């Protein structure tokens, strides 16, 4: 087996970082390696961890929440290994990702956790160009992959496309849920987390506000499952255990939904690089055939498209 993959499966953080770099690389030779890695993961029958997305307005308390949630999960699930991917807004000036989250989410030397930040791209709805591929890789190496993305409108929707379940963080009295109601985002998450519930009175009132919005939505669409609501406080250290339980009980998407998700991200990539023209040229080839895996499918599609354009 590929040495890098062996070491990554054993939890070697340097190996994992190198492996991720392959999945972020645009070089043809690296992309070929990704195909080999994927084939080996399939042959090894490596597990498929849960992908959980967490989004919410800037400063809502997402990183703090992740820190406490991961601690609670590590306790509750003694065998679990957890990866966190923070999708940072890119600086319009430097083009690089802001590293603020690195300083906030601090797992120290914990062997069972891994942290990675990725630059987001507004043109791609607020997630990075390779975020899906990287998360897809990480879930083969970890039991849980938590993805933090800053809510900038479209990114709530993109993160829900990417993840098996999505959480939306709301801070008390931010008025965020009114904005989210208007933009249809309230209908997306499987769970809401009211953060910073340090004062009982404050917590009660924000819960009431959120609950009445959710009741309203439920009246409009009674067929959908009502989402769960959690209240957390990093000061009082409350609510994280309940949220950890919710996540531990959640299941990944079924195979059909997973294929649909892969098709979505392939389409998105083709559209991003080649526009509607690209989709018209090879859109009909996107449909997966039996036994064909994502990385190889992606590479074949993009190569076919290059050939089609040259003709
Ligand atoms: N009182 C209180 N403050 C909190 C709590 N959770 C987070 N904060 C504070 O809220 C601020 C923002 O928290 P972050 O966790 O960085 O929020 P974020 O949503 O990750 O922020 P961005 O990634 O910048 O969008 C920090 O100053 C935290 O200390 C909480 O439960 N109670
Ligand atoms: Mg953050």
Q: Give the end of a domain, one of 222, 252, 282.
A: 252
Nearest CA to ligand 1 atom 1: 196
pLDDT at 73 over 60: yes
pLDDT at 216: 86
Q: In total, how many domains does the chain have?
A: 3
For residue 64, the ligand 1 atom closest to its alpha carbon is 15
Shared-domain flag, residues 111 and 74: yes
> Tokens in use for 275?
């526009």
For residue 60, the ligand 1 atom closest to its alpha carbon is 19
Residues 164 and 304 in one domain: no
Residues 81 and 28 grouped into a single domain: no
Confidence of residue 95 (pLDDT cuts 50, 70, 90): very low
Q: How far is the CA of 64 from the centre of ligand 2 (A)?
A: 7
Q: Which residue did the predictor score with more confidence, 262 or 177?
A: 262
Segment 206-215 mean pLDDT: 89
Pick the last residue of a domain from 205, 221, 252. Answer: 252
Q: How far is the CA of 54 from the centre of ligand 2 (A)?
A: 10
Ligand 1 pocket test: pick from 56, 60, 64, 150 the residue with the most ligand atoms within 8 Å of its Cβ. 64
Whether the predicted pLDDT of 123 surpasses 90 = no
In this structure, are 18 and 82 located in the same domain? no
Tell which of 205, 223, 252 closes a domain.
252
Report whether pLDDT(71) > 80.
yes
Please state the atom number of ligand 1 nearest to the C-alpha of residue 150.
25
Q: Where are the alpha helices (DSSP H) in the chain?
A: 3-9, 13-24, 28-43, 62-76, 100-104, 131-141, 154-162, 176-182, 200-220, 240-249, 255-282, 294-310
My answer on whether 262 and 245 are in the same domain is no
Using a 6 Å CB cutoff, which residues line ligand 1? 56, 58-64, 101, 104, 150, 195-196, 198, 233-235
End-to-end CA distance of the chain, in Å? 39
Q: What is the pTM of this model?
A: 0.92
Are 130 and 23 in contact by the 8 Å Cβ rule? The answer is yes
- Average pLDDT rounded to a whole number, residues 96-107: 50
Higher pLDDT, 280 or 196: 196
Q: Which residues surround ligand 2, an ion (CB under 5 A)?
A: 62-63, 101
What confidence score (pLDDT) does residue 90 get? Answer: 59
**Which has the minimum average pLDDT: 78-82, 147-151, 235-239, 282-286?**
282-286
Domain hosting residue 9, numbered range: 1-46
> Between 14 and 104, where is the model more confident?
14
Q: Are 231 and 194 in contact (CB under 8 A)?
A: yes
Q: What is the CATH number of the domain that holds 151?
A: 3.40.50.300
Residue range 223-232, pLDDT digits in tens: 778 899 999 9
Query: Do 186 and 68 sit in the same domain of this protein?
Result: yes
Q: How confident is the model at residue 122 (pLDDT cuts 50, 70, 90)?
A: confident
**Percentage of the chain exceeding pLDDT 90:** 56
Residue with token string 């809401």? 192
Distance 299 CA to ligand 1 centre (A): 40
pLDDT at 97 over 70: no
Q: Whose CA is nearest to atom 17 of ligand 1?
A: 61
For residue 302, how far is the Cα from the chain centroid?
24
DSSP code of 239? S
Q: How far is the CA of 21 from the centre of ligand 1 (A)?
A: 29
Note whether 119 and 40 are same-domain residues. no
Mean pLDDT of the chain: 88
Nearest-CA residue for atom 3 of ligand 1? 196
Same domain, 149 and 229: yes
Instruction: Give residue 69 CA to ligand 1 midpoint distance, Å.
Output: 13
Same domain, 160 and 248: yes
List 51's β-bridge partners, or say none: 145
Domain shared by 139 and 284, yes or no? no
Q: Do both 180 and 156 map to the same domain?
A: yes
* Residues 247 and 304 placed together within one structural domain of the fold: no
Centre of ligand 2 to C-alpha 149, Å, is 8
In this predicted structure, the answer to whether residue 180 has a pLDDT above a threshold of 50 is: yes
Lowest mean pLDDT among 16-30, 204-218, 233-247: 204-218
């Amino acid at each position: 087996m590929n040495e890098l993959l062996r070491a990554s499966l054993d939890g070697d953080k340097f190996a994992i970082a190198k492996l991720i770099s392959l999945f972020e690389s645009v070089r043809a030779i690296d992309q070929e390696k990704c195909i080999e890695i994927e084939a080996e993961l399939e042959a090894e029958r490596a597990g498929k961890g849960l992908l959980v997305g967490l989004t919410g307005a800037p400063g809502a308390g997402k990183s703090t929440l992740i820190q406490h949630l991961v601690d609670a999960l590590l306790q509750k699930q003694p065998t679990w290994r957890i990866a966190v991917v923070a999708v940072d807004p890119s600086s319009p000036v430097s083009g690089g990702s802001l590293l603020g989250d690195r300083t906030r989410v601090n797992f120290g030397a914990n062997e069972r956790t891994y942290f990675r930040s990725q630059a987001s791209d507004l043109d791609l709805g607020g997630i990075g160009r390779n975020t899906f591929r990287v998360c897809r890789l990480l879930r083969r190496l970890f039991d849980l992959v938590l993805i933090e993305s800053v809510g900038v409108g479209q990114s709530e929707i993109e993160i829900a496309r990417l993840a098996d379940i999505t959480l939306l963080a709301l801070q008390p009295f931010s008025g965020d849920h009114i904005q989210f109601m208007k933009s249809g985002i309230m209908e997306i998450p499987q769970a809401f987390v009211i953060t910073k519930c340090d004062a009982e009175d404050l917590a009660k009132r924000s819960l009431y506000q959120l609950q009445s919005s959710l009741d309203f939505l439920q009246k409009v669409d009674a067929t959908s499952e009502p989402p769960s609501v959690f209240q957390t406080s990093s000061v009082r250290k409350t609510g994280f255990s309940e949220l950890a339980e919710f996540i531990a009980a959640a299941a990944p998407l079924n195979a059909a939904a997973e294929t649909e998700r892969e098709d979505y991200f392939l389409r998105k990539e083709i559209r991003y690089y080649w526009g509607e023209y690209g989709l018209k040229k090879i859109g009909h080839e996107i449909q997966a055939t039996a036994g064909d895996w994502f990385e190889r499918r992606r590479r074949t599609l993009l190569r076919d498209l290059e050939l089609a354009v040259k003709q």
